[in-house]
Structure 1
Amino acid sequence: MKEHQATLLADGFVFLEAPRWHDNRLWVSDVFDCKLYTVLDDGTRQMVCKVPGRPAGIGFLPDNTPIVVSCAQKRLMRVSDGTLSVYADLTEVAAGDLNDLVIDETGRIYVGNFGYDLFGGAPKELTEMHVVHPDGSVRVAASELEFPNGAVIKDQGRTLVVAETWRGKLTAYERFGNGELHSRRVFADLDHRQPDGICADEQGAIWAACYNTGEFIRVLDGGEITDRVKFEGNAVSCVIGGLQANTLYCCVYLGTDEQLQARQPLSAIYKVQLV
């Protein structure tokens, strides 16, 4: 297994999640500070807007319109010139707070939810992933998921992979042309690791942030781990981007659970040159 070293890009955030590389910059949600940011490759940051209800997953429609999750409001929000408007409301269908999302080339949005009241201490429940179609209709895309988290679409759109955090698995589905998911299977069993945010590389491998172990690991279909970046903290989410598309951006929390509960700003972005 190849070990990589990371360098600090930016810090002083509360809790960063869902990094996305778009328009030559990194987009990222500061969940507990309720802000959406962009960060340049030199570390310069700019707040795009505040997001009530805690921002999480970020994506871009085919016309480049940014979409961000409002977790507690169970809504997908459209961002335009720093202003938010409701793109889709899932309050009637989502069993828990919304979480991460992925958008396909036609504008279909796949979004997961907690499935239960995590912050209220409710027992864990299986839940669903929903798909929001460009016409505004919302359907169940997949069910019986255990805390669906980061998701990616790969293989020229033929495969969707979602991280099931509490199961410690990356779960794959094949996609029909109409966006429906089928043929569920295990992409990788990560055993004791709890995958959070994920991304895919050009070879179809998955980089997974393993929250509980502080690792970002590169996993092949079947479970072989080829690469790793290790932190003394929590690994939250990652994305491949950069001006040469060869940088892994890692969002980490470098404090304790107690410090996170106190909202101490110990979240940071690190970057790793992959080639």
Structure 2
Amino acid sequence: MASRPMTEVATGFTYTEGPRWHEGRLWFVDFYTHSVNAVNADGSIEQVCTVEHQPSGLGWLPDGRMLVVSMKDRKVLRRETDGSLVEHADISEHCHGHANDMVVAANGQAYVGEFGFDLMGGADHEHGVVVLVDTDGTSRVAAEGLSFPNGMCISPDGRTLYVNELFGNRVSRFDIEPDGTLGPRQDFASFGDLGDEPSVEKRLAACTIAPDGQALDAEGAIWIADCVNQRAVRLAEGGTILDEVSTAPLGVFAVALGGDDGRTLFLSVAPDFDEAKRSAAREAKVLSTRVDVPHAGRP
């Protein structure tokens, strides 16, 4: 595993997630302070807004307004030009757990994953869905039968959606149809089918990878946050591991590529993803390191 110098970008948070490079700044959310944050060029951190029901995935509409997932009430909010947050879409009818990560396409359509079950409440694993939110706020299920759909990216040509399945031991891909709907699920990288095993602990124990957040690069490889193995992994299609970055002793739960040349890998790290422990502490960070191949696609 390559040893790379790490830089602390942001410290003193509860559980950082959803890093995005946008308009020359790194943006990220912090779950248990309910905040959306942006890192300025001088290293200072601006709290852009707060989301009462816990923020997750971030994205931007073609006109520049920001979308943010509101996890616990299963909505997508929109930040207006005056800074106010309004409801963009209510996707609760499609969700069996918290709403989660999101990627916004160039035309403003958004893809939102959901847990599928009550993870923090200790429920048995159930498969979840990806919800397609149209620009008018209407929504529909775009893909189902996914094991905790999490980090997502869209290819530079806008024709492919990549989805991490956190408890599924795989990264999936879907063709994006002209209307934004998705074709059948295909493997981008699979390390073994875990079937309908209901125990989250057993599923994680059987995983080669536990892919949380992801970032796509210009060679078509995907960086994933392999959250239980304390590493970020660069995967080629088919599952070959091309590169690794260790975050030990911390786990890594999301990644993004950005910086002025797209070659900075940002990593959201914390000791674990236990809600009670993380909400009571300020041990989460965003780190960065340099990689060889720049960012591509969305986000």
Query: Residue by residue, what CA displacement relative to the aligned partner does 1:1-60 show, whole Å, maximum 9, x if unpaired?
Result: 645332212211110000011011011010111111001254310101111111000011
Which of 208, 228, 234 aligns to 2:244? It is 228
Query: Residue by residue, what CA displacement relative to the aligned partner does 1:162-212 show, whole Å, maximum 9, x if unpaired?
Result: 000001210111111111111321111254221101010111110000111
Query: Residue by residue, what CA displacement relative to the aligned partner does 1:79-114 show, whole Å, maximum 9, x if unpaired?
Result: 134321111011222111100001111111000111
- Cα distance, 1:243 vs. partner? 1.7
> Counterpart of 2:9?
9
% same residue: 36
> Counterpart of 1:266?
283
> Counterpart of 2:202?
none
TM-score, length basis structure 1: 0.95
2:202 is aligned with 1:185: no
**Residues 180 and 257 (structure 1), Cα distance of their counterparts in 2 relative to 1, 3 Å cut:** closer
Determine the C-alpha separation between the residues in 1 that align with 2:236 and 2:104. 22
Amino acid at match of 1:241: G
Q: How many corresponding residue pairs?
A: 275
Give the alignment of 1:1-275 within 5 angstroms.
Answer: 2-80=2-80, 81-190=82-191, 191-231=207-247, 232-254=249-271, 257=274, 260-261=277-278, 263-275=280-292
Query: Residue by residue, what CA displacement relative to the aligned partner does 1:100-129 show, whole Å, maximum 9, x if unpaired?
Result: 001111111000111111222221111211
Q: SS of the residue aligned with 1:110?
A: strand
- Cα distance, 1:244 vs. partner? 2.0
More moved, 129-138 vs 108-117 = 129-138
Structure 1: runs of 5+ lacking an equivalent: none
Is the CA contact 2:120–2:274 (under 8 Å) kept in the aligned structure 1? no
Query: Residue by residue, what CA displacement relative to the aligned partner does 1:109-164 show, whole Å, maximum 9, x if unpaired?
Result: 00011111122222111121110111322111001011000100014111111000
TM-score, length basis structure 2: 0.87
RMSD: 1.7
Q: SS of the residue aligned with 1:32?
A: helix
Higher strand share goes to which structure? 1
Structure 1 segments of 4 or more deviating over 6 A?
none
